[in-house]
Structure 1
Amino acid sequence: MVYSVSVVVTLPRVIVERLRREAVRHGLTLEEYMVELLTRNLDPAERAREYIVAARELLEQARKEVKRGDARQAAEKVWGATALAVKAYASWRDGRRLASHGELWEYKRILEDELGDWVSDAWHAGQTMHVCFYEGWCSVRDVEKALKRVEKLVAEVEKRILGVK
């Protein structure tokens, strides 16, 4: 069973700005970057579980942003969930820690081979959300469509990792 708790942490602005810069430098969302920092010393199976729980929470946050009409913030959360689902699978299956967009693209092909061609649609929907966050071109409707595809990806990876039925 996966539990989700939302907590607000107040940090000095200089720290938040540093975290954001570092996340961008690594091509990650702020949430992804924080998860990476917090999971780097975990064994691969535990890291996979943390990734998939974080992905679920990002999807929930994305749904809230959609309800508020904030397509851009929702899109960022959908992309983060996409990337974390692929990272979770890599950590669970092979003990790999994916650190770049190139590695994510490479590894999503393994998911396609093992889960089905539909993974490509989910991946591309997530990628589009990544672009949407930076460019701001998509609508709430676009995010809702991507969210459905990415939810399926997260659910399938979660089933494998956690044995959820």
Structure 2
Amino acid sequence: MLLSGQSRLRKFDPALIKKGVELLRPDNFRMTIVSQDLPGGWDQKGKWYGTEYKSEKIPVDFLAEISKAMDCSAGDRLPGLHLPHKNQFIPIKLEVEKKEVEKPALAPRVDRNDQVARTWYKKDDTFWVPKANLIVSCKTPIIFASAENSVKAELFTD
């Protein structure tokens, strides 16, 4: 099964995942570079916003480098290009232990409330669906010192 955000999207299918990964090849991709610092030379403009852009073939030498990287052994790969280590916090078992309750809880209870964190807990004792929400709030007067700081803080926390 595949988890995305708070939703369980589809059944876990290793064969289908392998098939999808095998479709990622150096000869069938599109690369987009977005930057405010790249030099001009734009030869096209977007229809609605007039954004300048340029579309061109990916250089052959760059494609050769990508092909070489794909064909190299695990020992020859750049150390920075690797999958992350196994995340021990991703649950393996997604079934919820169901217990008969006389009356479902109406509201969460506060588990912790101190200078570091405030946490609530409420088991779904109605539909028995596993779910978690994590909200991180940064409280500092610097955030509201300017509109720019406020926007940057919002982007950071999002």
Q: Same fold (TM over 0.5)?
A: no
The structure richer in helix per residue is: 1
Higher Rg of the two aligned structures: 2
The one of the two structures with greater contact order (alpha-carbon pairs below 8 A, sep at least 6) is 1
TM (norm. structure 1) is 0.19
The structure richer in strand per residue is: 2
